[in-house]
Structure 1
Amino acid sequence: MCCRNYHIGPWVGLLYNYIGICIGSIIVFLLAPKYGKQFVRRIVGEKSFEKCICWLNRGNTFDKMFAYAIFFPIAPDDLLCYIAGLTKMKLQKFFVIILLGKPLSIAIYSWGLTALLQYLIGFVK
């Protein structure tokens, strides 16, 4: 019984992370245009904002770069979601990118950290 339940942990963690990250990303996307560039600048910091502000005028290029970045687990997702909210990207397109792009990176984190913790626990024993 113990072994069967063991594999549920990462799956449930993946699901909870996925739901929370999708909801949080959508909230961030909606806050950015409502409160504007100054709000985003204060949240993400001046340096990060200045690095990414040039993306605002790239139209479809930004959309493609955003979609690719969301698929990778090392991307600064929060920053990208704030910047996406300042572009002309529609909520529907943003939602589809987040919905399809986040599971892979979350799975890598979930299972990767689980494997790392198992290794460390085995090493300590």
Structure 2
Amino acid sequence: MKTDAYPALPKKLITLLKYLGIIAALVLIYIIFHNGVAPFQHHLYAFILKAGIFGPMFFILFQIIQVVIPILPGGLSLSLGVLAFGSTWGFIYNYLGIVMGSIISFLLIRKFGKPLIQQLVSEKNYQKIMHYLDNKQRFTRFFALAILFPVAPDDLLCMVAGLSKMKLKTFTLIIILAKPFSIFAYGYGLTFLLQHI
């Protein structure tokens, strides 16, 4: 595994972004519950229309960044995609952003190794990552099954895969084939809950 030197990321900035993400998530949930899903969806859709082609591009870019540095809870960002673009295009944009973000995360960790992970995640999550690597022979099978289910810590697992001996081709195939199930479950599941609570 290659571990080239790289400029250390400002840990405080990453922590600040995560806290801002939590605050933004709470504000979004409050707005949705206070005004209702339909008005929120209407305003979101109007904003996307004004943005034109840049709306989907920005959202896909946001999802890419979201995989590498989680800003909002994953389920909430997936729901925003469905609310903003509808069921079909919301799923497609979510899928494109998350697949590309997962591959970028894998490649970054493959290049920079443990020092980068320690910049991106807490010590507790770092120890969890190292635990996943204990059984290297079965990791690929475990990774494929975990990505398939929506409750797995996908972002962490993509980082673990970058530390493992898994080939990029294998990783990409697993992400492309298994990701749609968890994206569908999270995106539509949380959207349904928001619309019926």
- 1:41 maps to a residue whose letter is Q
- 2:168 maps to a residue whose letter is L
Q: Does 1:76 align with 2:160?
A: no
Query: Which residue of 2 is the match for residue 51 of structure 1?
Result: 128
CA distances 1:91-115 after superposition (whole Å, capped 9, x unpaired): 0000011011110111112221232
Deviation at 1:20, TM superposition (A): 0.3
Compare 48-57 and 14-23 and name the one that shifted more: 48-57
- 1:103 maps to a residue whose letter is P
Counterpart contact for 1:73–1:108, Cα < 8 Å: yes
Q: How does 1:1-125 map to 2 (within 5 A)?
A: 9-120=86-197
- 2:140 maps to a residue whose letter is D
- 2:159 maps to a residue whose letter is Y
Counterpart contact for 1:10–1:114, Cα < 8 Å: no
Q: State the alpha-carbon separation in 2 of the partners of residues 119 and 55 from structure 1.
A: 37
Contiguous gaps of at least 5 residues in structure 1: 1-7, 121-125
CA distances 1:55-95 after superposition (whole Å, capped 9, x unpaired): 32522311111111101112111111011000000000000
SS at match of 1:38: helix
- 1:37 maps to a residue whose letter is K
Q: TM-score, normalised by structure 2?
A: 0.54
CA RMSD of aligned residues (A): 1.7
Q: State the alpha-carbon separation in 2 of the partners of residues 60 and 93 from structure 1.
A: 14
Count of residues in Structure 1 that have an aligned counterpart in Structure 2? 114
Structure (1/2) with the larger helix percentage = 1
Q: TM-score, normalised by structure 1?
A: 0.83
Q: Percent of counterpart pairs with the same letter?
A: 51
Q: Which has the higher contact order (CA 8 A, sep 6+)?
A: 1
Cα separation, partners in 2 of 1:113 and 1:64, compared to 1, 3 Å: same
